Amino acid sequence: MATSGVPDINVVALCGSLRKASYHRGLIRSAIQISQESVKGMKIEYVDITPLPFINTDLEVNAPLKNAIDWASRPPNVWAGKRAAIVSTGGNFGGGRGQYHLRQIGVYLDMHFINKPEFFAYAFQPPQKFDGEGNLLDADTKQRLKEVLLSLQAFTLESKSK
């Protein structure tokens, strides 16, 4: 557990969407709030990727997120050995397909993802998930997001103890 106010784990959150009212950014805001309220020993920091200049590469994951991944993978690769979780929202299953592609990229970068629970929030199906500002409203979705955070915390702490 956390000692002297220092979190057991620090989490960096990146949002691939640059839209101000992005639902993905809303998930990050909710994750930060949930971690502060009920996931002790975890500190989440949102890192804004909008100022990064674009690297010209093949773009199979959304461009801003792939760009941030590319910058951070330059020597030294800051992703190597890191534990990670992926969450997404949207319609149909585009976010889910993007998650699977991010996992493939993560393998190359030597990242280690939690396997369960997977998190896909269907933003346009009832009940309403987000307000007009992109803030997560749905209590069940917040609970599922909390489960992801707890899983990431346990996975990270387990790896630290080895």
Answer whether residue 1 shows pLDDT above 60.
Answer: no
**How far apart are alpha carbons 84 and 95 in whole angstroms?**
16
Instruction: Output phi, psi for 144, to 5 deg.
Output: -65, -40
Nearest to 44 by CA among 155, 153, 161, 154: 153
Which tens digits make up the pLDDT trace of 4-42?
Answer: 565 689 999 999 888 889 999 999 999 999 999 999 999
| pTM across the whole model | 0.82
- pLDDT for the residue numbered 108: 93
pLDDT of residue 5: 62
pLDDT value of position 87 = 95
- Residue boundaries of the structural domains of the chain: 10-49+77-160
What pLDDT digit, counting tens, does each position of 91-113 carry? Answer: 887 888 889 999 999 999 999 99
pLDDT at 53: 77
- Give yes or no for a contact between 83 and 112, defined as CB atoms under 8 angstroms apart: yes
- Tell me the CATH number for domain 10-49+77-160: 3.40.50.360
Position 154 scores a pLDDT of 95
Q: Is 134 left (phi over 0), alpha (psi -120 to 50) or beta?
A: left
Give the other-Cβ count within 10 Å of 136's Cβ. 23
Closest CA to 17 of 68, 55, 73, 82: 68
Helix (H) or strand (E) holding 120: strand 119-122
Instruction: Return the pLDDT at 45.
Output: 95
Residue 2's pLDDT is what? 53
Token pair of 89 as six digits: 């929202």
DSSP 128: P
